[in-house]
Homo-oligomer: A and B are copies of this chain.
Amino acid sequence: MPSQRAALYRVSASGPADVSGVEALFENGLDPKTVVAVLGKTEGNGCVNDFTRGYATSTFETLFARHGVTGASIVMSGGTEGALSPHWTIFCRDTVEANPERSLAIGVSRTPDMEPEKLGRRGQIELVADGVREAMADAGIGNADDVHFVQIKCPLLTLSRVAETEARGETTVTRDTLKSMGFSRGASALGVAVALGEIDLEEIADKDICNRLDFYSGRASTSAGVELADHEIIVLGMSDSWSGPLAIDHAVMKDAIDTASVRTAQQRLAEGKLVAVLAKAEPDPTGKVRGRRHTMLDDSDISATRHARAFVGGVLAGLFGMTDIYVSGGAEHQGPPGGGPVAIIVERATNP
């Protein structure tokens, strides 16, 4: 009886243009057609002038064109501060002849193109919520509780999109293109929260977006990119109709040093080999962690997101004993203020 099966590969990169490890996978038999997504950590600053993301994306596009990979999401997150290690995580799925048994499932979807006036408003939340539901269906996940991580690549406003919108007599949430990235990430995360039943759409007003920090998804990870007008959505969860040794669970860190929550999630998973850790991190907006002042938000030499990735990277690397962890910044509505979601994927020692 056939079932779907997920496979993940964590591949080291010696620089943003080094895809030799992925090429080696292809040469050693990985079928490029099974690739559905790449999540990369590159060594730029993860901020405005981080060109390592574009460089890596362009390198992967060339590689994928050469190997016939089509439709795969390419998500690049800049910033490997501290001892975090640049790497690519390749997500694959294939049909195998094996009985289904509760396992890691990967679903993908793309929303329709979004009118720029919806960005950062309830319209985007609805659009993304629909897309997440579609990706859940694609993954064969019926119960929202079985979803443990939703990665979304969302659009941003450009000057020409703002102009085009205003020419139609509409307004955009902001004319500031940088700020539009935060709005898009935030509304996308709230879209996840709505789809997963974490918040009711009716409770959210436009003005809450990027304001009401107590509204968040414990399973969303979103990033904005200039190259798309729709949303690329990847859902990771557990499904009874898949098979294989992989399993996923997640924690929601309450603050930057909340290892207890992560350890609990880790213990819920069966024994096995760690395959991937995916997390969001941000400086606590109160300026304190457990009552003690931090200086991230006042440091004009190093941006606060870099501090946060380095530090939370250390927290998680110390806990998991590995440094090629996906820690991403910019966590609007992704976990509680100062905390964030952490997904853990393991290869179970014995199949369930």
Contacts and interface: CB of A to CB of B under 8 A. Distances in A.
Number of copies of this chain that the complex holds: 4
Interface string A289-326: 11011111011111100111011111111110111100
Given A257-B318, A257-B323, A310 B52 contact: no
B302 A306 contact: yes
A308 B316 CA distance: 15
Interface string A147-169: 00000000000000000000000
A127 to B, nearest CB: 29
Interface string A73-87: 000000011111111
A17 interface: yes
A289 B52 contact: no
Contact of A322 (B290, B306, B316): B290
A318 B322 contact: no
A50 interface: yes
Nearest to A314: B314
Contacts of A6: none
Interface residues of A, number: 61
Contacts of A14: 293
Interface stretch (A40-48, A202-210, A243-251): A40-48
Interface string A321-340: 11110000000000000000
B300 A310 contact: no
Contacts of A259: 318-319, 321
A324 B292 contact: yes
B51 A51 contact: yes
A310 B51 contact: no
A12 interface: yes
A314 B323 contact: no
B51 A82 contact: no
Contact of A85 (B12, B44, B293, B322): B293
Given A83-B256, A302-B306, 12 more contacts: A15-B51, A48-B298, A48-B299, A49-B298, A81-B310, A82-B310, A83-B283, A257-B314, A259-B319, A290-B323, A313-B314, A314-B318
10 contacts: A16-B55, A43-B51, A48-B298, A49-B301, A58-B58, A83-B256, A83-B257, A257-B318, A315-B317, A318-B319
Q: Which 6 A-B pairs have the closest CB atoms?
A: A314-B314, A82-B311, A47-B300, A315-B318, A310-B310, A85-B292
